[in-house]
Amino acid sequence: MKRSLPILAALCALFVLLTASPAVIRSASEGLRLCGELIVPSLFPFFVVSLLLAKLGFPQLLGRKLSPLTRRLFGVPGPGATALFIGLTGGYPMGAAYLAELTEQGRISPREAERLLGFCNNSGPSFLVGAIGAGVFGSVRAGLLLYAAHALAAVLAGILLRDGGPDFQEEEAPASAPPFSRALSEAVRGAVPAILSVCAFVLIFTVFTGLLEANGFLTALEARLAALSGLSEQQSRALLLGFWELGGGVGALRGLSLSPTNLALAAALVGWGGVSVHFQTLAVLAEGHEKSSPHLAGRILSAFFGAGLAYGFSRLFL
């Protein structure tokens, strides 16, 4: 039974793809445009730089310096700060990938990785400042406020998800770093499959939401959500699209004014990450033993805290 249901779902998806090919082609083209105009430019450079810093040993140095602070806040020493740094600079799903790497190397246990997964897999500054702040709202300042709210929401989620479990072993001293030229080459090669994986999931979920729209379901849901929540139909559309895929939700925000409500909506979308990000995280953890439920809890907390913080920051500083 467990095997037959996924097979049936896949066969149904194949039938829909064959019978609705014009809508599939249109939505797939939109997904490719979204990747080319928004996802790749905003994420790939930061993927490369984050991997380069990791190759050069900077996160380990940072982790050793911040170990006393992370012990008090999250109940974890150095590797917690290291993973949080990677997640907040590289963006989805680099934090999860780094935790999987730490687990594979034996530097943390699967249980410890689960605790960190709830608050160390986050969006990066390029997406928040460049794609949303400058690209959607035409304000770098708004993007910086969103990034501050997102980072603080991750810290708050980490504090709430602290379970008082056993601490990590102290982070070992960093190994000697490779030459810069080799580290850069390895970082670029490592960033390529990461960005391709992100774009693949964006494409799949863009096709999914495109099929919902082609059948009228998305429009009906927009109107229903707008009536229930008091949001405009465009805000409702962004919320619905962003529930499934972050890039589509952010793209739907274009044209909205720079207001506390709209910034809070953007922060909620980024904090949640979209179902697409959850699947990206599952793909990264596929060969490990980590449970994804802490990640889900962390994304819900980040969306809630991020929206509240973004609303408050925008009222104070914009």
Q: 202-230 burial, b if ≥16 CB within 10 A, otherwise e?
A: bbbbbbbbbbbbeeeebeebbeebbeeee
Please enumerate in sequence order all residues whose Cβ is within 8 A of that of 148, keeping only pairs 6 or more positions apart, or say none. Answer: 309, 313
Rounded Cα distance, 201 and 211, in Å: 15
Q: Which residue type, as a one-letter code, is found at position 102?
A: L
Q: Which residue type, as a one-letter code, is found at position 278?
A: H
Residue 234: per-residue pLDDT: 92
Domain residues of the chain, as ranges?
23-163+175-317
Please work out, in degrees rounded to the nearest 5, the angle formed at the alpha carbon of residue 94 by the alpha carbons of 92 and 96.
90
Rounded Cα distance, 243 and 1, in Å: 29
Q: Which residue type, as a one-letter code, is found at position 79?
A: P
pLDDT along the chain (318 residues), means of 10: 72 76 85 85 84 81 76 74 82 84 77 85 88 90 95 92 58 67 90 88 87 84 89 92 89 90 95 90 68 86 96 90
Residue 288: per-residue pLDDT: 53
Q: 273-284 burial, b if ≥16 CB within 10 A, otherwise e?
A: bbbbbbbbbeeb
Which tokens is 195 given? 């960005």
Residue 168: per-residue pLDDT: 47
Please enumerate in sequence order all residues whose Cβ is within 8 A of that of 100, keeping only pairs 6 or more positions apart, or say none. Answer: 113, 284, 285, 287, 288, 290
Please enumerate in sequence order all residues whose Cβ is within 8 A of that of 282, keeping only pairs 6 or more positions apart, or say none. Answer: 292
Contact criterion met (CB below 8 Å) for 211 and 30:
no
Residue 219: per-residue pLDDT: 87
Please enumerate in sequence order all residues whose Cβ is within 8 A of that of 167, keeping only pairs 6 or more positions apart, or say none. Answer: 71, 75, 76, 77
Contact criterion met (CB below 8 Å) for 110 and 285:
no
Residue 218: per-residue pLDDT: 86
